[in-house]
Amino acid sequence: MNDRAVTLQRSLYPDFYSSHSSGRDLRWVAGNDSAIIAFWDTYGDVTLNYLSELSGLPWKEKSFDIYLLRYFPSIGTSDPLMIPVGGIRNGGLTLAAPDGSRMTLNIVFQLARRMMEQAVRPQIGYYHPVASHPLWQAGPYRRDILAMLLALVTTEKVIGLDSAYAAYQSAFWQQNFPGREVFERYLLKDWILTPQRPLVEWVLAEPRTSALVEASRPPRPPTGPSTGTQRQYIEGLPAEGRLGFSVTFASSNRLVIDKIDVERLAYANGLREGDIIRSVNGQRVRNQKDLIEKILATLDQGGATLQISREGENKTIVLQPMDLSGPADDLYYDEEYLYQDTLPADTSAVDTSGGLGPDEP
């Protein structure tokens, strides 16, 4: 456990720490991390053993740091493994970090993500065949839902069934687990992890054209460089920029997407024209400038979680960086063309929704 990452904490919020002391905040962490330290001292090795048994993967790393920070823009990351102890801070607002069994589930979730990442990291000399399966693709609706299954079963083994599921059902995890709907529909009650049939065997047995693979497929832009079509620009949208959408005010005084570029990030992550923005990372937004600032604050650090309304139904969309140069999978699916290696030539009407610095002394 590393609770003295002063430079790392300061680098996450340079403006905030221009007038606040990152050293003081890390001293606060050192005074408030006793429950996490106690858990790790008591259950650390047991947790890693359960993760290995239930995943079917060996833990290859000989050592690693867990960075405990006072503030982080999301619930944490797995590489480097960073956990917020004080709160999830975006802009001037802070959501309290989880505690008790909710924090235990977060630690195990990040460890599960890290274990799964080891299957695709050649730098540690290991590559598992499961890494080529679509479900192993990094993202909130694929690898993260597998990591949650692994984390939930492991946490149950460590702290008990009731405590583990109480944590999972908490308001914190309902807000911070965007893949929840797919997870509960396809995995929670159907994939039973045991040492005899661990996670990798379930994944390898899942057809690449299954309903689960389809339901968890990240939306992709229907046109792009690979189609050979001429780039079309949208009046009222800047020609450059990562997100590619604009908003106006709806009658409810909420922001609504009025224009969106199908070749840029917002569309690729699932936003659509007409979507009403309810919140970003749990915070209501005032105008387009506020909306964009809140999205960019966490886009490259775990993604920005948007709560939207679409045709009267509330949905969660996670905006995260993507390679938009080509399809994420070998296969696309839509009702007209079924499964095929590439999108049809005319896709204009097709909707494919579906350095750590050294610590200061």
Q: Please provide the average confidence, as pLDDT, over all residues in the chain.
A: 80
Longest dimension (CA), the chain: 63
Using 50, 70 and 90 to split pLDDT, how confident is the model at 26? very high
Q: How far is CA 233 from CA 220, 221, 358, in A?
A: 18, 14, 45
Please check the confidence at residue 62 and state whether its pLDDT lies above 90: no
Count of CB atoms within 10 A of residue 32's CB? 16
On the question of pLDDT at 148 being above 60, the answer is yes
Q: Between 321 and 204, whose confidence is greater?
A: 204
pLDDT, tens digit, 9 for 90 and up, residues 295-311: 888 887 767 888 888 88
Residues 231-243 pLDDT 10s: 555 555 665 677 8
Position 353 scores a pLDDT of 32
Question: Residues 242-263: what's their mean pLDDT?
Answer: 84
Res 360: pLDDT:
41
* Confidence tier at 77 by pLDDT (50, 70, 90): confident
Res 88 pLDDT > 70: yes
Question: What pLDDT score was predicted for residue 325?
Answer: 54
Look at residue 103 and tell me whether its pLDDT is greater than 50. yes
What pLDDT is attached to residue 15?
86
Q: How far is CA 239 from CA 70, 226, 229, 236, 244, in A?
A: 39, 19, 17, 9, 8
Q: For residue 59, give Cα distances in angstroms to 42, 151, 194, 266, 278.
A: 19, 15, 17, 36, 41
> Percent of the chain at pLDDT above 90?
38
Average pLDDT of the residues in 234-258: 77
Q: Which of 53-57, 79-83, 160-164 has the lowest mean pLDDT?
A: 79-83
Whether 182 shows a pLDDT value over 50: the answer reads: yes
Please determine, for residue 132, whether its predicted confidence score (pLDDT) is greater than 70.
yes
Using pLDDT thresholds of 50, 70 and 90, give the confidence band for residue 128: confident
| HEC secondary structure over the chain | CECCCHHHHHHHCCCHHHCCCHHHHHHHHHHHCHHHHHHHHHHHHHHHHHHHHHHCCCCCCCCCCEEEEEEECCCCEECCEEEEEEEEEECCEEEECCCHHHHHHHHHHHHHHHHHHHCCCHHHCCCCHHHHCHHHCCCCCCHHHHHHHHHHHHHHHHHCHHHHHHHHCCHHHHHHCCCHHHHHHHCCCCCCCCCCCCHHHHHHHCCCCCHHHHHCCCCCCCCCHHHCCCCCCCCCCCCCCCCCEEEEECCCCCEEEEEECCCCHHHHCCCCCCCEEEEECCECCCCHHHHHHHHHHHCCCCCEEEEEEECCEEEEEEECCCCCCCCCCCCECCCCCCCECCCCCCCCCCCCCCCCCCCCC
pLDDT at 32 over 80: yes
Pairing of strands 304-310, 313-319: antiparallel
Q: Is the pLDDT of residue 267 over 90?
A: no
Domains of the chain: 6-215 (no CATH), 226-319 (2.30.42.10)
Q: Identify which has the larger pLDDT, 188 or 214.
A: 188
Mean pLDDT, range 319-344, rounded to an integer? 45
- Lowest mean per-residue pLDDT among 204-208, 283-287, 340-344: 340-344
Q: Return the pLDDT at 336.
A: 33
Q: Exposed, middle or buried, 142 (CB in 10 Å: 0-12/13-18/19+)?
A: buried
pLDDT level of residue 124 (50, 70, 90 thresholds): low
Residue 33 has pLDDT above 60, yes or no: yes
pLDDT at 12: 86
Residue type, 218: P
